[in-house]
Structure 1
C-alpha cells in the first residue's frame, strides 16, 4: 500500500465532506504513516501536521480508564469496590444505586446513570468535586449492572476517584500516570498549554451551508475525565502502540502489567445493535469486523471529531481527526473503513434495512429524551426520519454557543424482529440502535450511540 494512495484518499474524502483540516495516521508493518490535509482554522489558517493538537472528546475516556487501571494494578483501587469507598460523599438520585455502584460500573457504562449534567463548575482545582456534588440531580435510568448506557457523568465520577486516591488534581494525576511515562509530549488538558502550540479549531455547518468557528473551543474543566484531552496525531499513534503492546513504554519502563492491559480489551458487558461495538471492555468498545476483533473509541467536541481503532491480532492501528461538524463523523468513519479494507483486507459494511412497514413505523414514532436532548422519530411519506436536537431551554440557558443540531435523517428497521434500526442518511449515517419495550409490549425507549432516550408519553397514552 503506497503512502501516496492513503494521502490521495484522505484529501479526496476531506474535500467531499468539506472538512477544513484532517489528520490521519496508520500503524502497519511496524511503521507509522501520516496523511494530513488542510488547515487548522478557516479564520486563521495554518497547515495541519502530525503534531497539530485536536480535541479528542470521548477518546479521553481511554486515558481516564488507563490511569485508573494503573491504580488498580498498584492495589490502590479495586474494580469491584463500591465507589463510595473512594468518594464517600457521593449522592445520587437513587440512594441504593449510590451505595451499590462500583468502579467497574463506571468504566463499562453500567452504572445506570443518565448521560450527564449541563453545568459549569469553574476552572479551579475543585471543578471536578463540584461536578460530582451536582450528580444528585442526574436521573438514574437503571439499577447498577442492569444494562449498558453511555454516561459522561460516570467517567467524570471515575476521574474524581483518581483525584481522591492520588491526592492530585485529575489532570496532574493523568499527566503523571500516563502522559509522562509514555512521553506523550503533545497531550494536554489546559487551554494555556495548548495555545502556545499549533492546534485545530472546530467548525459547525450553518443553515446557510457555510462553516463557522465553533465556540467555545473546549468543554468545562469538570468534564475533563470524560472528554478533555487535546492531543496530536503522533501522540495518538503512540497511545495506540502502547495499547497494542505489553504494558511497557517505548523506553522500556513498565506502565501497566501486560495482563491488566489485556484485561482492558476483554468484554465485560454485551452491547445490542450498537455502532459503538458488540461489547464494552474497560474504557474500550469491542467489535468484530469481518471476523477480526477491533478495539476502539470515538469522540466529538465542539466541531472536532476523533476516531481511534486498533486491531490487536494484526498489530495495527488507525487514527482519524477532523475539525468540522456534522460531517467530521462520516469522514472519520469513511477513512477507517477504507484503511481496514486496503491495509488488512477487512470489509466493514452496514446491514441493509427492511422495506418500509407502516404499522411498525406508527408504533415507534414519537418523541424521546435524555437530560439535554430530544430525539424525534416521525413518519414521512413512506419512510421514517430521526431528528436529534438540543433542548431549547438548554440552549437558552447556555452562556456559550452549543453544537449545531442534526438535521432529520432517514432510518430503516433491520431484520429479525429485534426492534433494531440503522440511520441511512445525514451526519449520523451508519449509526445503529434499538427500541425498548415494557412488559405490555409498548415501545418506551430508544437507544442511539449507546444512550437510552426515554419516550415522552402523548396525551392519548
Structure 2
C-alpha cells in the first residue's frame, strides 16, 4: 500500500484537474474513510464535507431499479411482462416495440429505445406522465432484446411504472421504501429540500480554461428516475453498504429480499468493448478488475460527476463525487483506480491501441448521429480523431443553457478484428466502444458509452 493517504491523494488529484470541490468515501475493513476537499461553488464558496449534496446523476438508476425489484418481490410486477401491461396508455413510434418491450428490457437497457426525450415536462406530480406522453416520438434504435443501448427514457418509464403500481409519486416511493428505512438523511429530489442544505453547483471549463457556474443546474422532474437524486458521499457509501449486505436496514427491517439483492448483481446482457463493464445486471454494470468481480454505476449532471464501485467479495466500496466538467470524469477514474490498488492491491489498466492503419481508418471515417448528438470521425496525420457535439437544433430548442461541447478526442483501434476502439486523450480518456457492420461488411454504426450512433455518411 502507498504511504500516501486518501486525503493526500484526493487533494493532489483535485488540484491536478483544477476541480473546485470533491468528496470521496471508501468502505474497507468494515470502516468508513472520507476525504473531502474544496468548495461548493467558485462564486459562493462553502467548504465541502461528507454531508454536502452533489447531483449523482445516473447513479439514481440503481435506486429506481431497487424499488422495482421490491415490487417484483411483492408480486406486483413481473420482470418478463410487457411494460404496456402496467402502462396501457403508453404510445411509442414503433408499435411492435410498444407491445414487446418488457420490464427487464428497461432495467438492462435492451429495450432498443433511443437515449431520451429532451423536454421540460414541469415540476408537478404529472411530470412523469407528461414525459411518457412525449415518448410517442422517440426513435427505436433496434428491436427489443437484441442489443444493449443505454436509455435514459427507459428508466424514466420505469419511474412511471412505479407510480402506476404504487399509487404514489415516484419520489414519495423512493423516500418511503429506501431513503427513510436506510437512514439516507442527506438524499433528496426536490429543489426545496436541496436548497435549504449545503449543496454543490456544477462548473464547466471554457476554452481559455476559466471555470463558470453550470446553468441549468439540473434537468426537470420528468428525468428523476434516470438521474434526479442529490446526495452526499456519506449517503452514497451507506447505499453501497446496503448492496453489500443482506437486503435489511440496520434496524433489521427488510428493504429487499436477499435473493433479489443478489439477482441484481447477476449478468442479464453482455457488453462489448465498453468502459461501463463486461455485462449488465439489474441496473448495475458488471466487470472484472484484475480477476475480481465488481459492480458499479456512474452518473453525470451539468458540470457534476459521480462514480460508485463495489467489490462484493472484498466487502469494499468507493464513491467519488466532483463538481467540474469535463475533468471530473478523469478525476473520479483516478480516485477509483488508486483506491482499488492501494486498499485491495487490484490493478485497473486501459488496453493499448494498435498503430495507425490507413485502410481500417478509411472504413470508419464519416458522420454518425443519434437523436441528440452528432459523432464525426476524421484523420489527423497518422491518427484518428472523433468529435461529439450536441445537435444545433437541440441547443436552439433548449430554454436553458446546456453543457458546452467537448474538444475533439484522439482515439485508436484495439488489437484484433473486432472493430473496437479506445479514446486516448481528453475528458473521455479510457472510454471504449465499437463499430457495427451490415451484412455486406460496411460500417453502419458506432457505440460510445453504451449509446448507439447510426452512420449518415
The answer as to whether partners of 1:56 and 1:227 remain within 8 angstroms in 2 is yes
Distance in 1, matches of 2:76 and 2:117, equals 29
The answer as to whether partners of 2:2 and 2:342 remain within 8 angstroms in 1 is no
SS at match of 2:215: coil
1:49 paired residue number? 49
Equivalent residue runs for 1:88-107 within 5 Å: 88-107=88-107
The answer as to whether partners of 1:3 and 1:33 remain within 8 angstroms in 2 is no
Distance in 1, matches of 2:93 and 2:73, equals 31
2:349 paired residue number? 349
The answer as to whether partners of 2:113 and 2:138 remain within 8 angstroms in 1 is yes
The answer as to whether partners of 2:70 and 2:256 remain within 8 angstroms in 1 is yes
Equivalent residue runs for 1:114-125 within 5 Å: 114-125=114-125
1:11 aligned onto 2:28: no
SS at match of 2:363: helix
Equivalent residue runs for 1:54-203 within 5 Å: 54-203=54-203
Distance in 1, matches of 2:444 and 2:73, equals 41
2:400 paired residue number? 400
> Gaps spanning 5+ residues in structure 1: where?
none
1:375 paired residue number? 375
Shift of residue 157 of structure 1?
0.3
Distance in 2, matches of 1:2 and 1:198, equals 33
The answer as to whether partners of 2:350 and 2:430 remain within 8 angstroms in 1 is yes
1:339 paired residue number? 339
Equivalent residue runs for 1:429-444 within 5 Å: 429-444=429-444
SS at match of 1:253: coil
Distance in 1, matches of 2:320 and 2:226, equals 19
Q: Deviations over 1:325-380 (max 9, x none)?
A: 00000000000001000000000000000000011111101111111111111111
1:450 paired residue number? 450
SS at match of 2:408: strand
Q: Deviations over 1:288-315 (max 9, x none)?
A: 1110101000000010000000000000
SS at match of 1:306: strand
Distance in 2, matches of 1:150 and 1:398, equals 22
> Gaps spanning 5+ residues in structure 2: where?
none
The answer as to whether partners of 1:39 and 1:47 remain within 8 angstroms in 2 is yes
Q: Give the 4+ runs in structure 1 shifted more than 6 A.
A: none
Distance in 1, matches of 2:185 and 2:401, equals 30
The answer as to whether partners of 1:203 and 1:212 remain within 8 angstroms in 2 is yes
Q: Deviations over 1:129-151 (max 9, x none)?
A: 00001111110011110111000
Q: What TM-score comes out, normalization by structure 1 length?
A: 0.98
Shift of residue 399 of structure 1?
1.1
Distance in 2, matches of 1:146 and 1:335, equals 35
1:266 paired residue number? 266
Shift of residue 4 of structure 1?
6.4
Query: How many residues are paired up?
Result: 457
SS at match of 1:319: strand
Q: Deviations over 1:365-397 (max 9, x none)?
A: 111111111111111111000111111111111
1:39 paired residue number? 39
Shift of residue 2 of structure 1?
8.3
Distance in 1, matches of 2:403 and 2:330, equals 17
Shift of residue 218 of structure 1?
1.3
Shift of residue 176 of structure 1?
1.1
